[in-house]
A and B are shown apart, each in its own frame.
Chain A
Amino acid sequence: MASSCSQALRHHVCKSSRILRVHLQKAWPNRSFVLNSAADQQPAVSSPVEEIVIPKKKTWSKEAVLQALASTVNRDPTASDYRFQDDPYLTPKTSSEFKLFSLSQESGRNAAKYFISTYPKYFQKDYAQPHIPCLMPETLEAQIEEVSEAALIERIQMRKVKAAVDLYDQLQQAGTPVSLDVTNQLLDLICFYGDCDPAQENVPEQRNEETEDVQDEPQTKKGRASKASDKLKAAWKENNNAERIFALLSEPNTHSYSALIRGMVKYGAYSKAFSTYTDLLNNQLKADVSTFNALITAAPEVKEKYNEKWELIVDLLKQMAEQKVKPNLLTLNAVLKALRRCGTVGKSQAFPVISEMRALSIDPSLASYNHLLSIFYKPGAPFQGQTDILQEVMNEVSGKSFTPQDPDDAQFFITAVRICLDTKDIEQAYRVHELLGVGENWRLLGNDFQQNIYHARFFSLLCMMENIDVVLKWYRDLVPSVYYPSSNVMRDLLQVLDTDNRLDLIPQIWKDLKQLGHGNRQTLVEELLTLMAREKQNQEVQETFAECALDIKKMYDTGDRGKVMMSWTAGSLSDLVSVLLAAQRRQDAWEILKLFKTHNRVPSEELLDKFLTCIKESGDVNQALELVQISAGFCLPGTPKLIQRVQQEFLLSEQQKSMLSDLEIQTFNSD
């Protein structure tokens, strides 16, 4: 294509050059060197008679330029999510702030939508050419009032379940026949929503929020998952509208049975679904693909033993073949999902199922791979050398861009990274993360909660397996633009610092911890202090440690705005004192030592020893004496030794000597 283009061009050039030469020859016969230019040399034409194939014009989509531009830009690791304003005051710094800000923005939008739908007459003027339908006010009330089939269709389209059922009843009473199609649509509506009206988007879900309060703060994001399961918990009621309307039908067809069976399976009436299916067979009707999918999903629920479940599924598949119903991707996924509940049978049958479906040209989607991985890697179970399955799956999946075809697609990444975490396989984890960057796959990562889980697991694995430089690189890339780590993950990070002996980074990590809102978690802070106090570092690092330690002390003191107050322990106080002493900050350390008394904690002997050594360097005798008195005040067994040390190492006046000997006698007596 391109070559024929260039050939065409060359033909043109040759022709024009010949013309040029002819003119030149006529005009300037003396200037012969011009004629030796490149235009003179004719390029070798491969075949004198050649078809010039004009390539078909390539059509680009409307967003092609934008997509090309977008592909040149990577994610900015210093910016927060695109939803938020680019201002330090308005950027969320913790995961709870993230959720709060995005939800408050959404609720602002809902408030505006409420106004728009309540007063639509102010928003009717249409400036936009071409017309933008989503910016017009939506009509929430049904327009057609009279009792007719058209009104019923309208209410079905507006998803008003109760109104539609009432209208249907009115139609029946009035005697007007309702066509089978419309009745089927009505059945679809009722079975999909389980015979209750879907929650309106603008109305805040107050009922669900009460159940959310019970679940505690670490699970705040579980709220969204619980909402979906709350809706599904609405069980299939006996003799509800769907069954009643179905019974009124004189000749139910495949569609009606399908709607009924799928509704029953969705809302938990599994055995009823199977009995309805036998009805369908008795009426010599054929079922369609979605019916079979629903029945396969319900199969593990009605049988107890693994073999029986599998036999039922095989039975259903055979009937499907008999009725000449072609399976689709959802069938494959339903079978695999059912196999998850079949134990060892699942492991043996999973691969044959996939290969059979491949033979029918059904390609597995990410959901199928997700089910496959869940069959082989049960959470919490020990692994018996099955690590290669994940590798095989990643081989299949790498480099491909997937579109959402099944609701369970979003679980794939979380499952994959969980398996990597459990098997400590960093290579596969990198491949999983790479897959996320291919094409449209980022859409399949799920909502904010699922993204958080994914990143938490990925980062924990990194902390476990990689050295500090790699971990820090990922840390700077992910935190806090994409992921707000929890305190557990931050503790993993501290362990990595410890392992790789980069404790000098602790003050920076402390700053991040404060910003993330983990500055008042007691265990984390105590671990920080222990790490800082453990070894003596060089001078500048020690200075930074001292600053950091004083900052930490402030966190203990101010319990403002109802934050969780931390309480001092002996260990944390000692660590704090050691850090300050190592940085030669005797005055600050002295203040902290006094805190022991106020908070009823007992200092250890090593600490007081260290302190004495430090005091000796400065030669402050009074302070040494006070130290001994503090030690005596706590009735520490090491007091006599301290006294001896003071007597030996310091120059004491008579008064001080007598005080010391008094103390010695006291402690001797108390022993």
Chain B
Amino acid sequence: MFPTCCRIPNSALSYSSVISSGEDMAGAAGGSNALFCKNMATSLVRKTKLLSNRAARIRVAKGDKPVTYEQAYHPHHIGHRKGWLSQHTSNLQGEDGAAERVVEDVFIRRFMYGTFHGCLADEVVIKRRGNLLLICAVMIQKLLPSKFYFLIGYTEELLSHFYKCPVKIEMQTVEEKVVYKYL
């Protein structure tokens, strides 16, 4: 018994072929088998979902959730409508250290999120130029400038000593988080 849904995804087709072959082999059982298979088929219908990508996506909802440009466009738009958040050369042919760069980036993003808590307007962009690690951040004007400078000095010094390379922060401030659309 094939399930009566209109479209069967590829992974489910193998399932149904097994079941059909199972049904042939158990032909002697008759009705109960058919019922069993039908139950399996209906549960197959319920359990098979269209597997969809959920990475870095904010789904369309009621329409009151503000979303920035970075959040609004999905990862397949990177290179087309979005740029890269982390720029380094270790993904080029013959270069190594890509994994270490990723770990460093994750640490730096968490560090920035925690140190400038509530002030980040958008994702931090990390650029590497030679030895220099450049952290570009857009902040909301939530703190006094002197407090910003304190945190900038602290971050630069601490991360320089941690990663043994010069770390510079380039900061831009906006009055409020820049909303691209409401989802």
Contacts and interface: CB of A to CB of B under 8 A. Distances in A.
Interface of A: 84-87, 89-90, 92, 97, 100-102, 104-109, 111-113, 115-116, 122-123, 126-128, 132, 135-137
Contact of A127 (B150, B152, B165, B169): B165
Given A90-B171, A127-B165, A108 B160 contact: no
Given A89-B141, A135-B160, A108 B173 contact: no
Given A108-B150, A109-B157, A89 B164 contact: no
B170 interface: yes
B153 A109 contact: yes
Nearest to A84: B149
Given A108-B154, A116-B157, A127-B165, 12 more contacts: A85-B171, A87-B172, A101-B146, A104-B149, A104-B153, A105-B149, A105-B153, A113-B157, A123-B162, A135-B160, A135-B164, A135-B165
Nearest to B147: A104
A85 to B, nearest CB: 5
A127 B158 CA distance: 15
B30 to A, nearest CB: 71
A85 B141 CA distance: 14
Interface residues of B, number: 26
A107 B161 contact: no
Contact of B152 (A86, A105, A135, A137): A105
A89 B161 contact: no
A64 to B, nearest CB: 17
B153 A107 contact: yes
Contacts of A128: 164-165
Closest CB pairs A-B (n = 10):
A108-B153, A112-B157, A108-B154, A128-B164, A105-B153, A108-B150, A112-B158, A104-B146, A105-B149, A109-B153
Say what secondary structure dominates the interface of chain A. Answer: helix
13 contacts: A87-B173, A89-B145, A89-B173, A90-B171, A90-B173, A101-B145, A105-B150, A108-B152, A108-B157, A109-B153, A111-B154, A116-B157, A123-B161
Contacts of B116: none
Contacts of A113: 157
Nearest to B164: A128
**Which interface residue of A97, A104, A116, A132 has the most chain B CB atoms within 10 A?**
A104
A109 B156 contact: yes
**Which interface residue of A87, A127, A132, A136 has the most chain B CB atoms within 10 A?**
A87
A593 to B, nearest CB: 39
A112 B157 CA distance: 6
A132 B148 CA distance: 28
B151 interface: yes
B173 A116 contact: no
A137 B151 CA distance: 20
A135 B154 contact: no
A116 B161 CA distance: 8
Nearest to B146: A104
A615 B57 CA distance: 69
B149 A87 contact: no
Given A132-B164, A137-B161, A109 B154 contact: yes
Contact of A112 (B145, B146, B161, B170): B161
A105 B153 CA distance: 5
Nearest to B173: A89
A127 B162 CA distance: 9
A123 B173 CA distance: 31
Given A87-B173, A89-B173, A135 B161 contact: yes
B163 interface: yes
B171 A112 contact: no
Contacts of B154: 108-109, 111-112
A202 to B, nearest CB: 11
B159 to A, nearest CB: 9
B122 to A, nearest CB: 15
Interface in B124-168: 141, 145-158, 160-165
Nearest to B141: A89
A106 B150 CA distance: 7
Given A85-B171, A109-B153, A90 B148 contact: yes
Contacts of B149: 84-85, 90, 101-102, 104-105, 108
Contacts of B150: 104-105, 107-108, 111
Given A104-B146, A116-B161, A85 B170 contact: yes
B161 A126 contact: no
A126 B164 CA distance: 7
Contacts of B153: 104-109, 111-112
